[in-house]
Amino acid sequence: MDRPDPTQWPMDEHSPLFAIATAAELSGLHAQTLRQYDRLGLVVPQRTAGKSRRYSMRDVVQLREIARLGGEGISLEGIKRILELENQVTALQSRVRELERALADEMVNRPGARVFAAGESGVVPLRHGTRPSRQTSVVVWRPLR
């Protein structure tokens, strides 16, 4: 019998690994609490073909965070909003990193392709290897008395 190749099953923090009992134990919460959080949309685990809940390590971390925030007196609605905002920040940070990588790749692949300078009419593009012309005129100003 051939053994499955573990490299064909990439696992990360989002991989659904834990049944509800294991996730409850890892998070320090009761399984019924996890079901309630699922109904409220606080932590929504993935489902198997048989509709069983499967929690990822990220889900367990979020469950611990919910327990911590609840212990500080924050309502479930408040916790839900905090988690939504944290997820939005994480997504935006990921997008910024993606754009930074794309910009760095563009700068490496096309060095000097686009150069700009500030002029009297605003920002103007320059050809690679050229310099902007400088004003050499002198302006004299005297205040009116």
Give how far the C-alpha of residue 83 lies from the chain's centroid of Cα atoms, to the nearest Å.
Answer: 13
Query: For residue 23, what pLDDT is reported?
Result: 96
Residues in the chain, total: 145
**Residue 32: inside a domain:** yes
Q: How confident is the model over 72-83, as a mean pLDDT?
A: 95
Query: For residue 136, what pLDDT is reported?
Result: 74
Q: How many domains does the chain have?
A: 1
| Residue 18 lies in domain | 11-109
**Residue 21: inside a domain:** yes
DSSP string, 21-45: HHHHHHHTS-HHHHHHHHHHTSS--
Q: What is the pLDDT of residues 104-141, one digit of tens each?
A: 887 777 766 666 777 777 777 777 677 777 777 776 77
**Residue 97: inside a domain:** yes
**Residue 88: inside a domain:** yes
Q: For the stretch 96-113, what's the b/e string if a residue is b when 16 or more beta carbons lie within 10 angstroms of its beta carbon?
A: eeeeeeeeeeeeeeeeee
Does position 69 have pLDDT exceeding 80, yes or no?
A: yes
Residue 88: helix, strand or coil by DSSP? helix
Q: What is the pLDDT of residues 9-56, one digit of tens each?
A: 678 888 888 999 999 999 999 999 999 999 999 999 999 999 999 999
Question: If pLDDT is split at 50, 70 and 90, which confidence band does 143 have?
Answer: confident
**Residue 41: inside a domain:** yes
Q: Domain with 23 in it: what CATH number? A: 1.10.1660.10
**Residue 96: inside a domain:** yes
pTM of the predicted model, to two decimals? 0.61
Q: How many CB atoms lie within 10 A of CB 60?
A: 24
Query: For residue 98, what pLDDT is reported?
Result: 94
Question: If pLDDT is split at 50, 70 and 90, which confidence band does 75 have?
Answer: very high
**Residue 101: inside a domain:** yes
